[in-house]
Amino acid sequence: MNQKQLIKELAIKYNKNISEIEKAVYSQFKFVANKMPELGEIRLPFFGVFKVNEKKLQKIRERVNGKIDKEDRKREIKKGT
């Protein structure tokens, strides 16, 4: 079942229009995304535990702040930073 099917089934089950169900579903994940930096990890029943992957976060920071050369990164790792 994909996301659109789930939203459609929930709309039918609770007799609501699709836009109301989409708003409810997406607000959950928007909340999680906003709270994750503060809390580190969040557990959603029946979905699992969501946490920040530090390696991926570092890659994102590098892309945003200007990509670091691979050789420079290797030197940083050897120094312990």
pLDDT grade for 67, boundaries at 50, 70 and 90: low
pTM tops 0.75, yes or no: no
Asked whether the beta carbons of 50 and 32 are under 8 A apart, the reply is: yes
29's tokens:
């994940």
pLDDT at residue 38 in the model: 83
pLDDT at residue 3 in the model: 84
Residue 18 has pLDDT above 90, yes or no: yes
Residue with structure tokens 């699992």? 48
Q: What is the pLDDT of residues 21-64, one digit of tens each?
A: 999 988 988 888 888 878 888 888 887 888 888 888 788 888 87
pLDDT grade for 68, boundaries at 50, 70 and 90: low
